[in-house]
Amino acid sequence: MAKVFVTQHIGDAAVQRLRDAGHVVIYRDETVPMTPDELQTAVRSVDGLVCLLTDRVDTAVLDAAPQLKMVANVAVGYDNIDLGAATRRGILVSNTPDVLTETTADHAFALLLAIARRIPEADTFMRAGKYERFELFPPLLGLDVYGKTLGIVGMGRIGAAVAWRGALGFGMKILYTANSAKTAVEQELGAQKVSLPELLRQSDFVSINTPLTPETRHLFTLETLRQMKPTACLVNTARGPIVKEDDLLTALREGVIWGAALDVFEAEPKMTAGLAEYRERLVVAPHLGSATGETRRKMAETAVANLIAGLAGQKPPNALNPQVWRETSR
Ligand code: NAP
């Protein structure tokens, strides 16, 4: 029996599963994240932690939790956790890959179509009673998607799922970047691995699907955006700080790129000043990539299943530092 702290609302079913596994669960059934001080106090005597991406699990939190054996993040991205520090302390960390891949790719594609065809602007225009007559060249002319070139920055699970939609649904040519070549998308979709400048130069739509790391933080600055076509759109469903928002606003205002669709923001939940007021060819969503009821429930279940395995001395299916398990299970 272990003591588990759940930092925020994850649904009763997932919490019950933890209790059914025999754990004592302290469930903070709230949607507002804790302050760093509150989190440090809450983890003092716990063995397991279930957290969301809005909980920063840094060295201060890890140091405040001498009994902590495992952290289960309810997200695939884990830039909120100091994985290196956890590993050095022998603390297992897990995430929730796969269960959210298709849902997030659907959202990326929804945003891509929404920006290309200016759906939010059209909705606002219509509701404001501005539609007076059909015109051959209306004020809200959009961009074609079918047959265009889609650049995937970060051809991982979600990037590949976006690429599949683009290639098979919309006849798009696929270019990509990643650390290593991805033979499945190359063979099945004819995708080509290119350098980032080449991808930016050729793509009509650029979809960001990398994790947030020191290398990808501010990967998209004004300098990067200037390498894109003036007719191209940027879609970010990865993490906000990958794009320097001030620079993106400048790029949109100056027509450096045609448009952008953002699901994530540099200083979430806020948007850079000026961005909220900028309505033309900019689509924004409040971090909804994986936000369907089915997928969010699966994410909570996956996190809890990982924690139950880890606390039972088994290898968590989605361990990010399995070496900790190997060392502790010797
Ligand atoms: P993944 O399978 O690990 O894919 C990430 C890909 O990025 C990998 O292919 C990796 O290449 C590539 N990569 C890493 N650093 C790179 C760099 N500097 N330049 C180019 N490519 C780089 O992860 P995933 O499951 O697809 O998720 C991707 C990210 O999406 C997550 O980390 C998360 O932040 C974000 N996300 C957002 C939402 C949302 O709600 N908006 C939902 C889910 C996920 P290699 O494979 O060659 O190493």
pLDDT tens digits for 216-229?
A: 999 999 999 999 99
Based on the domain organization, do 298 and 202 belong to the same domain?
A: no
Flag whether pLDDT at 114 surpasses 70: yes
pLDDT tens digits for 67-88?
A: 999 999 999 999 999 999 999 9
Flag whether pLDDT at 330 surpasses 80: no
Instruction: Round the average pLDDT of the chain to a whole number and report it.
Output: 97
| AA identity, residue 249 | L
> What pLDDT is recorded for position 1?
87
Q: Is the peptide bond before 36 cis (omega within 30 degrees of 0)?
A: no
Based on the domain organization, do 153 and 229 belong to the same domain?
A: yes
Burial letters 83-117, b for 16+ CB under 10 A, else e: bebbbebebbbbbbbebbbbbbbbbbbbbbbbbbe
| Domain interval for residue 32 | 3-97+293-328
Based on the domain organization, do 114 and 247 belong to the same domain?
A: yes
- Ligand 1 centre from 211 Cα, in Å? 4
Based on the domain organization, do 123 and 151 belong to the same domain?
A: yes
Domain count, the chain: 2
Flag whether pLDDT at 329 surpasses 90: no
Residue 77 CB less than 6 A away from ligand 1 = yes
Q: What is the mean pLDDT of residues 141-157?
A: 98
pLDDT tens digits for 269-288?
A: 999 999 999 989 999 999 99
> What pLDDT is recorded for position 311?
97
> What pLDDT is recorded for position 327?
87
Q: How far does CA 110 lie from the centroid of its chain?
A: 15
Report the percent of the chain where pLDDT is more than 90: 97
| AA identity, residue 204 | D
Q: What is the mean pLDDT of residues 256-269?
A: 98
Based on the domain organization, do 91 and 165 belong to the same domain?
A: no
Residue 157 CB less than 6 A away from ligand 1 = yes
Based on the domain organization, do 130 and 242 belong to the same domain?
A: yes
Based on the domain organization, do 264 and 322 belong to the same domain?
A: no
- What DSSP assignment string belongs to 260-285? EEESS-TBTTB--TTTTT--TTEEE-
Which residues lie below 8 Å from residue 10, measured CB to CB, with a gap of 6+? Answer: 50, 52, 74, 300, 303, 304
- Ligand 1 centre from 50 Cα, in Å? 22
Residue 104 CB less than 6 A away from ligand 1 = yes
- Supply the CATH number for residue 167's domain: 3.40.50.720
pLDDT tens digits for 182-198?
A: 999 999 999 999 999 99
Of 1, 206, 229, whose CA–CA distance to 108 is shortest? 206
pLDDT tens digits for 34-64?
A: 999 999 999 999 999 999 999 999 999 999 9
Based on the domain organization, do 213 and 264 belong to the same domain?
A: yes
Determine which residue's CA is closest to atom 14 belonging to ligand 1.
210
Based on the domain organization, do 275 and 298 belong to the same domain?
A: no
> What pLDDT is recorded for position 279?
87
Query: Quick check: pTM over 0.75?
Result: yes
